[in-house]
Structure 1
Amino acid sequence: MKNIESDIINYLQNKDDEVTIRELTEQFHMNRNTIAKYLQALIRRGDIEVTQFGMMKIYRMSSRIPAKGMFHLVMDPACIIDTERNIVSYNTYFTELFSLKASNRKLYSPCTLPEEFYQNDLVDAIIQGIHGEISEKAREMKISGRLYALHVKILPLILEDNTFGCGVIFRDESRVQKLSSFLEESEGRYRAIVDDQMDLVCRRAPDLTLTYVNKAYCEAARRTSDDLLEKKLFPFVLTNLSNETESIYRQITINNPIIEFNTKDISSNGQSRWLQWNLRGFFSPHGEILEYHAIGRDITPLKRCEEQIRIYQQSIEYLVQERTRELQESNKRLLEELMIWEKKEGRLLEREMWFKSIFNNITEPCLLFEQSEHGEPSRIIEANKSACHILQYSHDELLSMVSTDITTEEHWHEYLECYAKQFAEDQVIRYPGVGKRKDGKNLHLEISAQRFRVGKKPLVLMICRCPEEPV
């Protein structure tokens, strides 16, 4: 039986038109009564629908939504109503909107229609929904003493007992309505503010016809708004430059929405007038231009100042040339002195390289420390290759360490008690020491240490010898 039902459903899905029982009997080679039983079972399940015209029945795939799937589709207040106009189930959002008692807040708790439903022909729309008509309408409803602006959608459903019903979904648009009203008020205030602006403001449609001009724009153009609106005019551009201005508008894209440019024309007093325009394009989510918004500012005084500045610059150029000649002579003398200093610096760098080469090529491990306030070595400021090799640290690692990082704590206390004080006498001291390698092993060392100064900075040089293998 299941196979026959599946075959009937597949056949109806592939058919563009409705079918009769006669067509199905011919298709499946069955008698009329057997096909009718299968069709009745599919109707009860809600898989197909039947429409009767006189004595003839027409079958098609059901366009109704199963009731069980409804609550998985909406996050708005929703309920399901049966043919007796009883609410057979509803979600928690519905209980909150219509303030149902807490004891009734179950997903399937049948109840009669709330009295709020008997407003604005909502019940009539529900009856039509039960009979298969989809409706969607904005309604004002008073619920618990509060007026709501609701978007109500009614959908025909097949209930679990294979009877017809409908689902009602309420979307609260009260806040949207308030925002829409606020937007209209804001637009009115915006226009009032823009009309009082000294700057020239206009809007243009995608075809560049003017859709809005403020008072300052009209006065500067010496025309009324009726003369300008719905026309493709550029009143502040010389006639021979109109095409160039239009091409500037066409350069506006979603990736380049703002352009600044200047225009020149002749004012009513016969003098040249310059305007600076800030042009912005507004686009749809699909990247299509919706509107151009341009703000113009008279920069004629600025242009005249630029001309005066140009004249002043010419008069100053002579003085600049004289001063340049004097500076060139001074620079020549300074360059000669710099060359002398560069030679001295080169010799110093060369000596430094020699000393580093000698230091790095000493076969014994050598370490150079800064001296702390108490006379003992502290931060490592230089280490030769032999020291890096025997301690197993890289050169950069050693320069980031202090003396206590490469010796044992026991030896460090012994050093402070027995040897550190001798540095106060600027003597070369020799003593046995213990070094700590990167792998944690200890090295018994024979250390020669001497303090000296570089400028005012006291430094300690330690040269070590490792007579035996690490322990």
Structure 2
Amino acid sequence: MDTYSDNNKMQQEFQDIIHIKELLKKFPLGLNITEISNALHMHRNTCAKYLDMMRIKGDIDKKQSGTAKNYFLVQRMPLSSLLRFEEGPAIIINSKQEILMVTKPALDLFKCPLDVMYGEKIQNLPYHIFKDNEFIESAVEAVNGKNSNLKRETFILGKKYYFSIRFIPIITDSGKTGCAILIQDNTDFFEAKDKLFICKKQYEAITSDQTEFIVHTDVDLLITFVNEAFCRYLGRSFEGLCGLRFIPMFQADEREKIKNVLSSLSPQNPSGSIDIKTIQKDGSFGFEHWIFRGIFNDNKEISGYHAIGRNTTDLKKSEVQLRQYYDNLERLIQERTKELQEVNKRLLGVISEKEEIEKELLFTQFAFDNASDSIILFDDSGAVYKANKTAGELLGYSKEDFGEKSVYDINPSILPEEWRNMWAEAHPGKKERIISIHAKKDGKIFDVDVSRTFVRFHGNMYFCSIAREI
């Protein structure tokens, strides 16, 4: 019988507490004991007992208003429950803003022992963040039952930190109200964000100055980034290109080639290149060279592509012209070779008839001096070893003048480093034909067609320059 009575009593208390909560929900600013007891037709002392029970549990809070005490619902968390789930830095303060507890992560964060903080008022701590007016106001409001959030930048021992701070109303096991200050250290995130921003700006600076085309796509080959060079080449804006499919920008008969290159990419072979035909803006055929590189994630799966391209139309045309020049040079060499062979035959005939060695030297010297082209021999230091008559007439130098001149005087475009590099790869018979310049004695510069070769005579190597004024 007593058990039945106790159960009924507990059930009645439970129902009364629910009724009090439902009533207080309708009055956010709170009600006093008299107002609550009258509204629920409850004895004042019984009502006061329930309110004390609810306050200890953290369900309600009270605020002194003159001689009356108003009670209102709050979302106040029991301290023991909070600490069971919160592993980060936390500081617990009471209604007087005095520190009741500091977790180890908080001590590690502020790099101080417990005795520096324990029992001190929060605003008296030797850290700038605790002296912030909005911080203090948020702590006071949390003690009074209002939770809030705050983001702040601060310095601890000279290092900059980024904090996200939560102010949570709490109630201790003894029924005292307070505030839990939960600190989330976002420093690593913001530092990484700053570094990422700098890297992005550096990358944009690099790509904006590139003359080659740079295109980024996702795994579905949708364009996510293009540099200015590619925008100028296509005559479209960055926004107009991003989001488009990359492959359809090429000729239909070239797309399959590109797909084959992309399908061949792997972590072991991450890049591939291809030369493709294009249609220029004027309708003529052109050429482009592209290098595709796959971007792989940690699972070695393609997450995107990085493409670098350039317009090679002028290069292809230059290669064709160079081939024509080379063929012409080969024909000229063959003709000259035949001519020299004929000359050698005639020389051999003369030598066989009269004083072979002397006649050969005299004839060679004569041919050298009276050649229609300027011929100059240089030693490895660049000094003039020998020059023919035509060279003297062309440049305005006497035979004696050549003894004081070097290759840098004859051809001002050649630098000492270039001259050393030419000799580093020198071997007899190595030939080269270029368009260059020569300087006359009076300083006048003129263009020449130069045939260069290395010859060996009496164990010494000489650089032979055969030039003709253009």
Pick the TM interval, shorter chain. Answer: 0.3 to 0.5
- Alignment TM-score, normalising by the size of structure 2: 0.45
- Alignment TM-score, normalising by the size of structure 1: 0.45
